Structure 1
Amino acid sequence: MQTSPELLRLIHNIVRIGTVSEIDPGAPPPDYKPPRVRVATGDITTGWLHWRESRVGTTRTWNPPTPGEQVLVIAPGGILEGAIVMPGIYQKALPPPTPTHDLNVTMVELPDGATLVYDHERSHLEATLPGSATITAQGDIAVTTEAAMTLTAKGGLTIDGDTKIQGKLSIAGGAVTHNGTDIGDTHRHKGVMSGSSISKGPV
């Protein structure tokens, strides 16, 4: 039995490998326009196709493919016009991020160099940001550790709000001031007299 060239073409088009050539991020409602990509595969470049996102229900994610990313093009019935793009396939030009190739590590690397790494063998989480970070909560925030906690702020630390400290407080180095007045270990009092007199405020 002979197979027609058209049937062979459709079969070959069901699953193809290609690289993303263009991305259209679309537009939000009310003038909704779906995000789409074009893929170079073989000697052709597809039309605008939808890509598969992780979640698109009441839980939604947004993690678009990038130019040069190797993907699968799945075309039901072999019709490329209705194909779906499925990222992604590692390649030499875009290998796994460093320090992966470790089966104990789950990692996300972003274009600006930010990384989120979790080592489930060591139970260790590490986030590295080249810029700033903001956390906003309408309710309480609690940070609890069974070990020590170190906070390093080379540019200074500002607390805006009433502050309560439970437990011992030890201050080493620097000066302690209140409204510009030194109240640390180097402060002095004026109006000091021997006996039961009360000294004046700090100098």
Structure 2
Amino acid sequence: MTTLRLRPEDPADTGPVRRVLAAAFARPDVTTPPEVVLVDELRGSDAWIPELAMVAEYGGEVVGYALLTRVRVKSEQGAAPALALGPVAVAPHRQRVGHGTAVVQAALDAATELGERLVVVLGSPAYYRRFGFGRADRMGLTSPWSGLGEPWQALVLPPATSDAAPPPRGEVVFPPPWSKV
């Protein structure tokens, strides 16, 4: 019986991850989807956290991907760390069987284990609600995508300790590679 294996990306996964992203985000008017370029550029940046780049492997093939990278939340109190989820991709021939949900949940679980407190995402509210995401503007978070309303979402992760500080509020600042998306 073939099972789904969820694990952090390793260097040998770069090509397979690029193929999954290219297939999942393929458009007839673009040779290389911007999501592929985004991941390539994030890999070489300070935003990259190796433990939070998750792959879903099925039958020895990388079929899914979920990436969490570092962002900052600027407020009057300074800048606090947070994470951005995306891109999330599943190979077209393995979509709609739960691989996307599994790889996103694995990434969120890994972030929780690392003591992270806040994740933002721009995506389908119907899809991301299953993980507990809600409107980011209602959590006091702004970004270049705030004007999109419901797709601009955030999730507060469970605190590592009972005396943890509340999640940050303010302007979410993305690293430069995000400006190309």
The TM-score with structure 2 as length reference comes to: 0.32
Decide which structure has greater strand share.
2
Structure possessing the higher radius of gyration over alpha carbons: 1
Question: Which structure is higher in RCO with an 8 Å CA cutoff and minimum separation 6?
Answer: 2
Decide which structure has greater helix share.
2
The TM-score with structure 1 as length reference comes to: 0.29
